[in-house]
Amino acid sequence: MVRLESLVFFAQLAAFTTASPVQSTQGPQNNDAISKRENWNLDDLNKEFKGILWDNAFKDCNAGQLDKLIYTTRAAMSMLDLPFGDPEKKKEYKYTQGWNRYFGDYQWWLSNGFQDIEYATQIEHNLVQVQKYPREGHSSSTSNAKKIHFTCNYKAQVDGEKLCSSGITGAITVAPQGSSFERWTIAFCPYFFTSDKLKYLEDRTKGEKTTFAHIGDLDTYERVLAHELMHVDIVSYKPRHIEDVIGKLTPGGADLQIYGEGRCRDYARRDRPKANTAVRHNADNYSWFFLYYWFDVKWEWSKAGANADEPKTNNQNVEVASTSFPKNERDLQGSTGMPYGCTRHFLPLDSHFHPVVKCDYVGGDFTSKGGCDLTDQCRKPFANGNAVDPACVCTCDGKQTPLRDDKCAGFAGALPGRPSPP
C-alpha cells in the first residue's frame, strides 16, 4: 500500500481554506530540466541543500510558490539549528520547556529504566538527523534516491489517491514504495500557499509578542516543513517510521489523530509521571518542539516562568480530516536500541548530573553490496555478540528483503547457522 502522510489542519479551520484564492498562474510544465527560474538557479539550490532535489519544484511550482518554498526551507534551517546552536542551552535542550511540553519531562524518561533512555535517545537522534539532512544530505551517496524531492504538483494521483484532497492539507509526504513517485517526495498543497493560518517564522517573530500559552496561534510554514521532513525515512531512525500517530489522550478515550499543539502536548503528558514513549513516533510532536524552542529563546518564555503543566486543551474531541493511512497506537511497535551514532558519556556528567547522550550525524541508511538499503542496526553486531542485530532490515527496490538474499550482503554480524562474514 502506498503511504501518504500529510499535515492536515483541524477541521474547524476548513472555512478559512476557501477564503484565499488558489494562485492561478501555474509554473512551466514540460519534461525538460529547467535550470533557471525567475530569481533562482537550480544548481545553486541543489548545492545549498544536498539532501533536497529541487528539479521538480522548478518545473511545477509557479513563481510565488517557488519563492515561498525556498524562503521557507532556508528559514526552517535556522529553526532546526537553534536547539544545537544556542550557546546558553547547547546540549541541554532535553531540560527545556519545549522538550518537556512535547516529549514529556526528561526525568520521566530517566526514571523508567534503560529502555526509555534508549527511546529518548532515538528522539535526539531524529532531531540531529532532521537538522542536518536537508543541507548535508546522505553521508555516502549523492544519488537522487537519497534526496527529498519537492513538488507543487499536488494534482498528481498516487494509486488513485488524490494528493491534498482534504483542502486543509498543508503538505504531503509520499514514500517511494509502490507509488508513481519514485523517490521520497514532499508535495506542497494549495493550503500551504493560501492559508491565512500560516506565516513565515520571521514575520511571527517580528510580530506582537505573546506568552507561551499562545504557541498554538503562532504556526508557520517552517513548522509544516519540519513535520513533513520527519516522515522521510531516509532521514530518521529506522526500522520504525515516524508517522501521524492515532492515539488516546486518556486511558480508554477515543482514538484521535495526534495533530496540533494541544493534542501533542497532552499526548506527551498522558502517562505521567512516566513518559509516553509513543511520542517518538509522531511527526507533529517534533515539529512543535522546534517551533516552541524558537520562541522560547527569542521571547525568553522560560525566563518569564513558562510552565508546560498548564491545563489540558479544550479541543480534544475535534475531528480532523484524515488523508493518510494511519496506524492505531496499539499497532505501534517500538523501535528498540540505541541509534547508531549515539553514545552515553558518564564522565563528565551534565549540569543535571546525568550522563550526557551525544548523537553524531549519521546521514541516513547505508548501502549493501547489492545496492539495497540497510538500516542503522545493520552497522554492528547485536549486543557486542557475533549475530546480526534482529532489527537490521534490508530493503531492495522498496521491498523488505530477507537478509539471506545475496543482495543484502554487507551487514555486520552473522545470520543464524552461518559463519560471520569476512
Binding footprint of Zn ion on the chain (CB under 5 A): 5, 244, 283
Minimum distance between the CB of residue 125 and Zn ion, rounded to whole angstroms? 19
Is the separation of the CB atoms in 227 and 7 below 8 Å? yes
Taking the complex as a whole, the smallest distance from the CB of residue 320 to Zn ion amounts, in Å, to 11
When the beta carbons of 235 and 306 are compared against Zn ion, the nearer one is 235
Q: How many helices (H) and strands (E) does the chain have?
A: 12, 17
For residue 112, the minimal CB distance to Zn ion (Å) is: 27
Q: At what angle do helices 63-85 and 283-298 cross, to 10 degrees?
A: 70
List, in sequence order, every residue forming a beta bridge with 246; answer none if it has no partner.
257, 328
Nearest to Zn ion of 215, 224 (CB atom): 224
CA gap 105, 97 in Å, rounded: 9
Whole-angstrom distance, CA of residue 354 vs CA of residue 319: 41
What are the CA-CA distances from residue 207 to residues 198, 212, 235, 273, 404 (Å)?
13, 14, 33, 36, 58
- Give the count of alpha carbons within 13 A of 27, CB side only: 23
Most distant CA atoms of the chain, gap in Å: 66
User: DSSP letter at 130?
Assistant: H
Q: Give whichever of 5 and 365 is closer to Zn ion, judged by the CB atom.
A: 5
Nearer to Zn ion, 9 or 411 (CB): 9
Nearest approach, Cβ of 307 to Zn ion (angstroms)? Answer: 28
Q: Report, in Å, the least distance between residue 291 CB and Zn ion.
A: 15
Q: Are 42 and 34 in contact (CB under 8 A)?
A: yes
174-213 core/surface letters (b: 16 or more CB in 10 A; e: else): bbbbebebebbbbbbbbbbbbbebbbebeebbeeeeeebe
Contact between 125 and 348 under an 8 Å Cβ cutoff? The reply is no
Q: 59 or 223: whose CB is closer to Zn ion?
A: 223
Closest distance to Zn ion from the beta carbon of 257 (Å): 9
> 198 or 283: whose CB is closer to Zn ion?
283
Residue placing its CB nearer to Zn ion in the complex, 5 or 55: 5
What is the smallest separation between the CB atom of 189 and Zn ion, expressed in angstroms? 12
